[in-house]
Amino acid sequence: MGSGQGSTGNVIAAICSFFVPGLGQLVQGRVMSAVFWFLAACVAWLVTWVLTVSLLPFGWFVVSVLSCISAALYRRPAP
């Protein structure tokens, strides 16, 4: 896939990360970053659920947006 900001690969990764935080990073081959974003989303969902005693996924949504931005702005390091 593409290697720079705005490339097709980054756009696809950003879309993936919007639906499942970390999936875009996984598509880009960044496994540790993917695990981090997914766990952050799970923790955010849990904290939101505990604080509001409801199933509103607000915490998950916030982390999804941040993960999406991270995937979109990723630049592959120069070889």
Predicted confidence (pLDDT) per residue in 28-44, tens digit: 999 999 999 999 999 99
* Mean pLDDT over each residue of the chain, to the nearest integer: 85
pLDDT at position 1 is 46
How confident is the model over 63-72, as a mean pLDDT? Answer: 90
Residue by residue, what is the 3-state secondary structure of the chain?
Answer: CCCCCCCHHHHHHHHHHHHCCCHHHHHCCCHHHHHHHHHHHHHHHHHHHHHHCCCCCHHHHHHHHHHHHHHHHCCCCCC
